[in-house]
Structure 1
Amino acid sequence: MARMHSRKKGKSGSTRPSRREKPVWVELSSEEVENEVVKLARKGFSQSLIGVMLRDSYGIPLVKVVTGKTIYQILKENEIETPLPEDLTNLVKKALTLRKHLESNHKDLDSKKGLQRTESKIYRLIKYYKSKKVLEPDFKYDPEKIRTIVMR
């Protein structure tokens, strides 16, 4: 599949582990992995960073293979939830930095176009998350108001 706003097809990206059973080299039990996920989340790490840290530090290829639950499910059970989903948060942060850049560089048309594309992705994700009932139906993307939510 091509990228959203270009005709290019990305070649880079990591490959998910194909095995669906717990690897032999993983010595931690499922409870220990869950505790580690909760501990890292309380330190303020995102779900993707938690997965990378567990992979690099403990050799856990997939948390779901070891625990039977995704990182999101583990955090939800322990009542550690973020105000916005992670992919939406990353796009909003990108849009906010582009807006800040455009305040001092009004004539930067490439950044202006990049902001339009980023906000198009944001609106599309918001529509998706409203349909899945992750966001409330009256949620609106307002760059000034959402700055306080994202920059916590």
Structure 2
Amino acid sequence: MPTYTVETNGDIALTAATAKTVLNVINSGRTLKVTELSVSFDGVTANAEPVTVELCASTQATAGTPGATPTPAQVSGAARSAVATAGRAYSAEPTVLTVLKRWLIHPAGGALLMQYPLGREPLRDSSGHGLALRCTAPAAVNCQGYIEIAENE
């Protein structure tokens, strides 16, 4: 089964106390599973409050407004183009978002790397639904990250 990655392609600015969908991968006909995700921050203040990082399911009731629509890049498996589509750095949030997992990560050198065990990956099997990585920082900070996905036949 091929795997693909969608990444931030550099810094994404987070505005204080404002939720921002950093990455969103949208199912286009194949079951979509998150195998790995990561996010890190460039804050420098040791006593800063943590950033809330959420993995969300999205119905894509409204698509939101992505800053870019990158093509998922294949990282393993037999050569095949991804069917899933993606967006990054949303200026208007997609809906309806349901939080599946939530973490608090320190913005000064904090990083999250999550690898999901086989058979326990968050997934979307309805065409048009997505899996999104959303961050809410108490103070302005930049983030970088990626979502790695697998597509079933």
| Structure with bigger RCO (C-alpha 8 Å, 6+ apart) | 2
Normalised to the residue count of structure 1, the TM-score between the two structures is: 0.20
Greater share of residues in strand: 2
Normalised to the residue count of structure 2, the TM-score between the two structures is: 0.20
